[in-house]
Amino acid sequence: MKDHGTWTQYKPAKPPENFPPNALYAKRDSDGVDWYDYIRGDNFADGSLKLTVRSRTKGGPVIISAPQTDASQLFPADHRVIEIEGDYSGLDEGARIAKFASKVIDLKTGKLSEPPPPPAPPPSPLEEKLDAILARLEKLEGK
């Protein structure tokens, strides 16, 4: 597994020529290299699996956001980019997504596991009012 670092969205002082005015940009946190320059270099192996990953919470499990064999299909802002070497070019997009997307990855071992369930949302104001009404009704019926 190769770690390509964490990336942050930014706006260049002078956008490159021939780029659309609404283009989005990302730079690597460690050295400020631009994502578009990085993927044009010889930084990824052919056929390898490129992943954007991040944690929902600080110190929480690392979740795979986007599994791709073509790095140009990724936009890494607010993510870490990991590469798993090997030939994954035979996996079609559906199989690749089913096997890797939304899985937890251990960055030390590369082991995949199912993600923990998301936390339950807090009750809505309407649910709180309904609970209060039901509690009062139960109290009245108990008299």
pLDDT score, position 84: 93
Domain interval for residue 110: 2-116
Task: Compute φ and ψ for 105, nearest 5 degrees.
Answer: -120, 135
**Domain presence at residue 127:** no
6, 11, 68, 84, 106 from 30: Cα distances, Å = 8, 17, 23, 21, 21
Q: Answer for the pair 66, 49: CB distance below 8 angstroms, yes or no.
A: no
> What CA–CA distance (Å, rounded) separates 119 from 141?
34
Could you give the number of structural domains in the chain? 1
Q: How confident is the model at residue 38 (pLDDT cuts 50, 70, 90)?
A: very high
**Residue range 93-111: average pLDDT?**
91
pLDDT score, position 143: 67
| Residue 108 clears pLDDT 80, i.e. is over it | yes
pLDDT digits (tens, 9 = 90+) for 62-83: 999 999 999 999 999 999 999 9
**Domain presence at residue 121:** no
**Domain presence at residue 125:** no
**Domain presence at residue 131:** no
**Domain presence at residue 70:** yes
Q: Answer for the pair 55, 32: CB distance below 8 angstroms, yes or no.
A: no
**Domain presence at residue 72:** yes
